[in-house]
Each structure stands twice: as C-alpha cells, then as structure tokens.
C-alpha cells in the first residue's frame, strides 16, 4: 500500500492537478489525457480494484458516484461524458488503486 502511486497523490506526496475533494473522494487530471477532459476519481481509502468492492467499503464507491455529476458540471460536460473503470489485466488496469475515468469534452468513439 505504501507503494501505491494514487495513495501518494491523495496524501500530497506526489503532486496532482486536483479538481475535487471531499472526506472520502479525491479527483485529479490524468497525466496522459485521452480526451479534452480526462479526470480520475478515486476513493481516499485504498481499494485495489473493482473485484475488491465489498459491502463494507461500497459506501466509498457510492460517494464517488455522488461526486461524478458535480465534477462533470464543474468541467462543463453538459453534453455528456463517459465513466470507465479498468479492472485487472484484461481490463487494462495499470494502477491498482480503484479509479474511475471521466472522459469528455468531445464526441467519444463508440469502440473500446
């Protein structure tokens, strides 16, 4: 957990471009944006991936989805956006701290 890059970003040990924060959620701009708006939304609690969501920690995920419309509005995504979670190797997950990508600011491709 000490090696987790997103835990370090949440703690402020690694700089990030913060766009939103509350008691359980942190959101910041992706360092390698795939769309005009590309924000990562993470729980402050370390949860490694979607497979680790349980009845005990799912409240943090609910808080993320409460925050997403606020972030989207603040980013001007009034015409819509996409939320993506990558889980595990086949899902293309590269950072093993649960995160949701918000992508928007243009008409996104329908293919994955």
Separation of alpha carbons 103 and 80, rounded Å: 9
> Minimal distance in Å, beta carbon 102 to ligand 5GP?
11
Q: Residue 104 to residues 15, 17, 39, 65: CA-CA distances in angstroms?
A: 23, 17, 9, 16
Partner from Zn ion, ligand 5GP, none binding residue 92, C-beta < 5-8 Å depending on class: ligand 5GP
> H or E segment at 103?
strand 100-104
Picked from Zn ion, ligand 5GP, none, the partner binding residue 97 (CB below 5 to 8 A depending on kind) is Zn ion
Please confirm, yes or no, whether 46 is among the known catalytic residues.
no
Site pattern 25..54 for ligand 5GP (x: CB under 6 A): ---xxxxx-------x--------------
Known catalytic residues are 99
């Amino acid at each position: 957990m000490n090696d987790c890059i997103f835990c370090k970003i949440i703690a402020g040990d690694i700089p990030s471009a913060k766009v939103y924060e509350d008691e359980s959620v942190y959101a910041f701009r992706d360092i390698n944006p795939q769309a005009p708006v590309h924000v990562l939304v993470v729980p402050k609690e370390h949860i490694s991936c979607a497979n680790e969501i349980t009845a005990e920690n799912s409240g943090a995920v609910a808080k993320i989805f409460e925050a997403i419309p606020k972030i989207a509005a603040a980013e001007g995504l009034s015409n819509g956006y996409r939320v993506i979670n990558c889980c595990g190797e086949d899902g293309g997950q590269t950072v093993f701290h649960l995160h949701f990508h918000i992508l928007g600011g243009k008409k996104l491709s329908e293919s994955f």
